[in-house]
Amino acid sequence: MMDCRRKAQISRAILVLSTVVTGSMALVIFLFLFRFSLPLFSSGSLGKFLSKNWDPDAGAFGVYPMIAGSACIASLAMVLAAPLGVALAVFMELYAGSRFSRFLRYFVELMSGIPTVVYGFSALFILVPLVRNTFRYGSGFCVLSASLVLALLVIPTVSLITMDRIREVPRDFVLAAGSLGASRLETLLRVQLPYAWRGVISAVVLGGGRALGDTIIALMLAGNAVSVPSSLLDSARTLTAHIALVSAADYESLSFKAIFLCGLVLFLFSMFSIVFLRVVERLKE
Amino acid sequence: MKKTVMINLCLLLTLLFSVYGFAGGLDLFEGLSGTLRIAGGTAHIKCEMLAGKRIMRRFPGITIIIGGGGSGVGIKQLCEGLIDIGNTGRAPTAAEIERCNLNVYKFAVDGIAVIVNPQRKIQNISTAQLVNVFSGKTTNWKELGGPDATINVYTRDSESGTRKVFWKKGLKRAPITRRANFVKSNAAMKTAVAGDPLGIGYISLGVADSSVKPLAIDGIYPSIENVKTGKYKIARGLYMNTRGKPGGLARAFIDYMLSPEGQELVKGCGFLPVK
Amino acid sequence: MNRVVVLTIKVLLWVTAVVVPCFVGMLLFFLLDKGLPVISLKLLFGDVAPVKALLLRERVFDGIFPAMAGTFLVVLLSVMWAIPMGVLSGIYVAEFAGGTVKKILDISFDVLASVPSIVIGLFGLTLAIFLHKNISHRIYPCLLISSAALAILILPYIVRTTELSIESVSLPLRLAGLSLGATKQRNLLSVILPRCSGGILSGVILATGRAAEDTAVIMLTGVVASAGIPHSLFSRFEALPFYIYYISSQYADQYELKKGFGAAIVLLIITGMLFGFAHLLKKLVARKINGFD
């Protein structure tokens, strides 16, 4: 029989071991991306990989168009999703308790559970032709189509987080505002929302991360052209879609090496956004 | 008595004959089992899937997995030892053959057609117009006698054998516009152009169907007959490649595709058989 | 506030509250409209008798059964990897880690949660190539690699819910066990964990849903359009989300496209049920905690 202390030691060791493995996973992924992008840095040809041309047949491996594509699509999605998401949160709070508000809350939660590929599939057959026929320019596979659907993907993130943070505002503040004669809407907009500004920023940044990190919607809807889009109706390719499209290439080729750079850019962005959030959350009033 | 002997002899002969007749067919797989991995060129997929289903229905111990990716991917995955047969829609280059010790089996000839949506009235396109459209100089259907609307060019990535052949023989090596939409396979090209009234793309003849409209180039219609007679120039072989001499399932599969039954299948898929 | 301003804001809020659900509803309605008529045993099993297919006596070529089976297996495996690792780490972070260590771990899990799934897929793919070259030529991108990569994807969710559930157990309850002379470990096992098993379970179910719907990870690590039902960990496999993506770009005919709609509805139902169940569980847990404390 093992004595108790021995048992405790072993179980503790197992806990530590699994924590070391899971806790270092992010670091492992970073190191591996860095390790495989390293040849691009050290050969002094990083500029070549950040150039505007991607044409493997001609020896051009610039991923700049994909960085621009990701930036355009994700930021347009956020321009749509941030106000809509916050507005939904405010609406749900304003009419809290009403049937419609409760329905909306369920609906937004449901939205967060819809698989991205299902969004993409549906939009492919209904939104893309709509965009094409409405604007009479291009194929409908474009920045706009992808951003619209990505916005739907992100709205639940933004509005659920915002709502939670609005609710965390101390009751006294809300009551004080009410006793000063502020209406419910005024309290929400002038007291609760400003008080919870850090929460709103968190919600938007986390949502932005989701928009930037999603692969399948842009892959299905954005058209995947390798040029910097000059209009919302232009076809574009995101970093994530680029990785998906090129990943089958020769593992020794420069094409394949370039996608690690794409991965690294995505990773660094998500890491900085997390650090940024931590800093924001710590800021004093 | 004599009659029975004759009948028996006849029966025996037919039996022998039928066995012989089958020998090139599915019987090639008798006694084999395991997984055969195929990937690469996407023009092959439909035809190989048909063959694969036939084989797997009869031999439950055999699994045939067919993936895409494009010709370049086929060769590369073959070299890495990730697959058993690499499909290519172009002849492997000398460098590729040497680097991976390739054995090359051509099993069909295919044409590459320029396709538009059936809503477009255009029937014929000249090589000069084609080059202008794909390089992005001509951007409006009006210039091709159509409505006043943008031309949406669809293309494949650099791994595609179809792209390489079309670029060389159809576009005379003129560059393809960077604003073109990318699709992943021949089947995806068909789907994309069938769904876009303003689209134009290029595709394996065997994959094209009535949902898209092939264009005559300089007056010559892309039909399998015109490919056969050599009148339609944008044609290429379809190849299956192995690293070293194929064995087991890969050998049987290649032999099957080259057998009369396999070649009949190839014909049914809209390609030109090689035998 | 000016009455006009208030009115404008209210109108804008109402417009948002109506337009967003309508837009999503339109997409879903379109899907249901096209896909519901296709839902049948034929969609799942093709021409094969369901019993034979389920017992693996006969292979299904024309139905989405292999894709469903593939999704089931890959998700089951990934959850099997992720639960022990995730729950143990969650326990450690909540109960044992202090100060700086906890802060570092928290950041690390947050970063891991925010890594795009395609990057995790790329990691899995490279891992597979590395193993193929250096360990065994039998290793390809396959079920094993995919499930491991998916496990990385859902790990942070499981760690977080475990951590939060444990931390939500109230102090009096913790002290009660300890004051009766239980060791820290015993107290954890017999008092704290049973209290928060519901919360952890709902987190696990949510993570399962996340794994079931992800396409990017498996796309790079072993899923193919047709492979049948995998018979080993080293087989390639099919999966519903990838099937839907694949059909969307290259359906051969209208029937195949309809099958894509059918598959999308099936996936929607599966993930919907998982999410619904998790939320229900969360509610029950919340009620229980409120009821006791």
pLDDT in tens, chain C (293 residues): 688 999 999 999 999 999 999 999 999 999 999 999 989 998 999 888 888 888 888 888 888 999 999 999 999 999 999 999 999 999 999 988 888 999 999 999 999 999 999 999 999 999 998 898 888 888 888 999 999 999 999 999 999 999 999 988 878 888 887 888 888 778 888 888 888 888 899 899 999 999 999 999 999 998 988 888 888 899 899 999 999 999 998 887 888 899 999 999 999 999 999 988 888 888 887 776 655 44
CB contact under 8 A, B178 and A132: no
Mean pLDDT of the region B240-250: 93
For the stretch B181-190, pLDDT in tens is 999 899 999 9
Q: Which residues of A touch B95 (CB under 8 A)?
A: none
Confidence band, pLDDT 50/70/90 cuts, at residue B20: very low
Per DSSP (E only), the strands in B178-233 are 181-182, 199-204, 213-214, 216-217
Do residue B127 and residue B220 come from a single domain?
Answer: yes
Do residue B76 and residue B125 come from a single domain?
Answer: no
Question: Hey, is the C-beta of A98 within 8 angstroms of any chain C C-beta?
Answer: no
pLDDT in the model for residue B19: 45
Q: Which residues of B touch C235 (CB under 8 A)?
A: 35
Among A57, A245, A250, the residue with its CB nearest the CB of B182 is A245
Do residue B227 and residue B249 come from a single domain?
Answer: no
Chain C nearest-CA residue for B182: C249
Neighbours of chain C (3+ CB pairs under 8 A): A, B
pLDDT of A97 higher than 90: no
pLDDT in the model for residue B10: 54
Do residue B35 and residue B126 come from a single domain?
Answer: no
Chain C nearest-CA residue for B211: C253
Distance CA A222, CA B25 (A): 45
User: Residue B210: which domain range?
Assistant: 111-235
Counted domains in chain B: 2
pLDDT in the model for residue B8: 61
In a domain, B9, yes or no: no
Confidence band, pLDDT 50/70/90 cuts, at residue A260: very high
Among C125, C213, C260, the residue with its CB nearest the CB of A115 is C213
Distance from CA of C129 to the nearest CA of A (A): 8
pLDDT of A49 higher than 90: no
pLDDT in the model for residue C24: 95
How far, CA to CA in Å, does A265 sit from each of A233, A270, C2? 25, 9, 47
Phi, psi of A249 (to 5 degrees): -70, 170
Q: Which residues of A touch C279 (CB under 8 A)?
A: 109
Percentage of chain A beyond pLDDT 90 is 61
pLDDT in the model for residue C290: 55
pLDDT of A7 higher than 50: yes
State in words which class domain C61-292 has: mainly alpha
In chain A, which residue ranges form alpha helices assigned H by DSSP? Answer: 4-23, 25-42, 46-49, 64-94, 99-112, 116-135, 143-167, 171-179, 184-186, 193-195, 197-213, 216-221, 239-246, 254-282
In a domain, B17, yes or no: no
Q: Which residues of B touch A222 (CB under 8 A)?
A: none
Do residue B251 and residue B220 come from a single domain?
Answer: no
Which two structure tokens, joined as six digits, stand for A74?
């994700």
Question: Hey, is the C-beta of C225 within 8 angstroms of any chain A C-beta?
Answer: no
CATH number at residue B172: 3.40.190.10
Among C137, C226, C249, the residue with its CB nearest the CB of B191 is C249
Do residue B90 and residue B118 come from a single domain?
Answer: no
Do residue B150 and residue B162 come from a single domain?
Answer: yes
Question: Hey, is the C-beta of C133 within 8 angstroms of any chain A C-beta?
Answer: no
pLDDT in the model for residue B3: 55
More confident site: A247 or A134: A134
Neighbours of chain B (3+ CB pairs under 8 A): A, C
Do residue B184 and residue B172 come from a single domain?
Answer: yes
Among B80, B152, B182, the residue with its CB nearest the CB of A251 is B80
For the stretch B41-85, pLDDT in tens is 999 998 999 999 999 989 988 999 998 888 988 998 898 888 999
Mean pLDDT of the region B5-24: 52
CB contact under 8 A, C226 and B49: yes
pLDDT in the model for residue C85: 94
How far, CA to CA in Å, does C129 sit from each of A13, A250, C218? 32, 11, 15
In a domain, B8, yes or no: no
What does pLDDT average to over chain A?
90
Q: Which residues of A touch C16 (CB under 8 A)?
A: 84, 87-88, 91
Mean pLDDT of the region A234-238: 95
Distance CA C62, CA C252 (A): 13
In a domain, B179, yes or no: yes
In a domain, B243, yes or no: yes
pLDDT of B199 higher than 80: yes
Contacts for C108 with CB less than 8 Å, ≥ 6 apart: A23, A24, A25, A26, A27
**What is chain C written as a DSSP string?**
--HHHHHHHHHHHHHHHHHHHHHHHHHHHHHHHHHGGG-SHHHHHTTS-HHHHHTTSS--SSSSHHHHHHHHHHHHHHHHHHHHHHHHHHHIIIII--HHHHHHHHHHHHHHHHS-HHHHHHHHHHHHHHHHHHT-TT--S-HHHHHHHHHHHHHHHHHHHHHHHHHTS-HHHHHHHHHTT--HHHHIIIIIHHHHHHHHHHHHHHHHHHHHH--HHHHHHTB-S---S--STTS-B--HHHHHHHHHHH-SSHHHHHHHHHHHHHHHHHHHHHHHHHHHHHHHHHHHHHHH-
In a domain, B74, yes or no: yes
Q: Which residues of B touch C228 (CB under 8 A)?
A: 56, 63
**What is C181-221 written as a DSSP string?**
T--HHHHIIIIIHHHHHHHHHHHHHHHHHHHHH--HHHHHH
Distance CA A165, CA A171 (A): 13
CB contact under 8 A, A8 and C185: yes
Distance CA A138, CA A233 (A): 6
Q: What is this model's ipTM?
A: 0.92
CA C141 to chain centre: 20
Chain A nearest-CA residue for B159: A249
Mean pLDDT of the region B200-209: 94
pLDDT in the model for residue A77: 97
Distance from CA of C129 to the nearest CA of B (A): 9
Contact B217, B130 (CB under 8 A): yes
Distance CA A147, CA A75 (A): 8
Confidence band, pLDDT 50/70/90 cuts, at residue B7: low
pLDDT in the model for residue B18: 47
pLDDT in the model for residue B4: 58
Confidence band, pLDDT 50/70/90 cuts, at residue A44: low
Confidence band, pLDDT 50/70/90 cuts, at residue B21: very low
Contact B89, B238 (CB under 8 A): yes
Distance CA C139, CA C195 (A): 42
Contact A83, A255 (CB under 8 A): no
Confidence band, pLDDT 50/70/90 cuts, at residue B11: low
Mean pLDDT of the region B249-273: 94
Q: Are strands B34-40 and B213-214 parallel, antiparallel or unpaired?
A: unpaired
CB contact under 8 A, B196 and A57: no
CB contact under 8 A, A234 and B77: no
Number of other CB atoms surrounding residue B138 within 10 Å:
18
Do residue B146 and residue B226 come from a single domain?
Answer: yes
Contact B115, B208 (CB under 8 A): yes
Distance CA C74, CA C79 (A): 9
Among B69, B179, B182, the residue with its CB nearest the CB of A248 is B69
What does pLDDT average to over chain B?
89
How far, CA to CA in Å, does A52 sit from each of A39, A55, A60, A68, B181? 20, 10, 9, 10, 17
CB contact under 8 A, B158 and A225: no
Size of interface A-B (CB pairs under 8 A): 60
Distance CA C199, CA C280 (A): 11
pLDDT in the model for residue C256: 87
In a domain, B58, yes or no: yes
Mean pLDDT of the region A99-122: 93
Contacts for B86 with CB less than 8 Å, ≥ 6 apart: B38, B39, B40, B74, B75, B77, B78, B240, B241, B242
